[in-house]
């Protein structure tokens, strides 16, 4: 953990700390029920049944963003920062987690696993993940809630796979407190272990 100690401290004090570290127990039937019944109402910009886009008085993930924050970061700003993060690839080429210096590889890994909407390919961060990282490192505003929400809407319109299971369970628990919770239904989520840190190192 020693090579990543400073970055772990930075992340624990960042606005995505809860999204990274919350260990909510996730129940597969709850998450499947959410995605199977979820529908998006374009005119109201709202996902039904379980949640609304955002409630100004209660953000479950406590991301600290607002509707006025941008969802796009200038490419030049983002790519310039990558080199300060020890990036060794070509500026217009493919960028992989392994191409960053060790502390930033840890940062990219954490953000990818917590906030990415994809089922896999966790070695290659997409643009919005690099935008989130850029804004975290530079302490700039970025509307993470909107980006996550947009991917949820795309999922409703598409194949509806179990996206963001931890976040969905946190939202369900926040709004529906009396759902039955069967221990046999609990999803086995993989948390970072010493072997993960060894591989990153």
DSSP annotation string for 6-34: HHHHHHHTSTTHHHHH-----BHHHHHHH
Separation CA 27–CA 31 (nearest Å): 7
In a domain, 187, yes or no: no
What is the DSSP annotation of 86-128?
A: T--S-TTS---GGGS-HHHHHHHHHHHHHH--SSS-TTS--HH
Q: Residue 28 domain-assigned? A: yes
Structural domain harbouring 37: 2-177
Cα dihedral sign, 62-64-69-74: negative
Residue 176 is predicted with a pLDDT of: 79
In a domain, 129, yes or no: yes
Residue 191 lies in a domain: no
Would you state the pLDDT for residue 54?
Answer: 44
Alpha-carbon distance of 190 to 9, in angstroms, equals 21
Tens-digit pLDDT string for the chain (201 aa): 677 889 989 999 999 999 999 989 999 988 988 888 888 888 888 887 644 444 444 467 889 899 899 999 999 999 899 889 998 988 777 778 889 998 999 999 999 989 999 887 778 888 999 999 999 999 999 999 999 999 999 999 988 888 999 999 998 888 877 788 899 999 988 777 778 778 887
Write out the two tokens for 88: 């060794």
pLDDT of residue 53: 43
> Smallest Cα–Cα separation from 79: which of 95, 61, 57?
95
Tell me if 169 sits within 8 A of 24, measured CB to CB: yes
**d(C-alpha 101, C-alpha 40), whole Å:** 41
**Residue 32 included in any domain:** yes
- Residue 56 confidence (pLDDT): 45
- Number of structural domains found in the chain: 1
Q: Is residue 195 part of a domain?
A: no
Q: Is residue 113 part of a domain?
A: yes
- The sign of the torsion formed by the CA atoms of 94, 100, 104, 105 equals positive
pTM for the full model?
0.83
Residue 140: inside a domain: yes
Task: Tell me the sheet residues that pair with 47.
Answer: 40
């Amino acid at each position: 953990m020693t090579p990543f100690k400073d970055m772990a401290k930075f992340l624990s004090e960042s606005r995505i700390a809860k999204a990274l570290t919350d260990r909510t127990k996730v129940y597969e039937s709850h998450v499947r029920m959410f995605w199977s019944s979820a529908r998006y109402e374009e005119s109201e910009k709202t996902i039904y049944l379980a949640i609304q886009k955002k409630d100004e008085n209660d953000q479950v993930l406590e991301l600290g963003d607002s509707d006025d924050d941008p969802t796009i970061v200038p490419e030049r700003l983002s790519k310039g920062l990558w080199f300060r993060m020890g990036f060794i690839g070509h500026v217009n080429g493919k960028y992989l987690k392994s191409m960053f210096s060790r502390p930033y590889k840890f940062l990219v890994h954490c953000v990818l696993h917590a906030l990415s909407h994809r089922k896999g390919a966790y070695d290659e961060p997409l643009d919005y993940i690099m935008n989130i990282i850029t804004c975290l490192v530079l302490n700039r505003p970025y509307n993470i809630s909107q980006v996550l929400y947009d991917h949820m809407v795309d999922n409703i319109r598409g194949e509806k796979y179990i996206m963001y299971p931890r976040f969905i369970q946190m939202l369900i628990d926040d709004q529906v407190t009396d759902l039955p919770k069967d221990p046999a239904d609990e999803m086995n989520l993989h948390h970072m272990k010493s072997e993960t840190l060894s591989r990153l190192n």
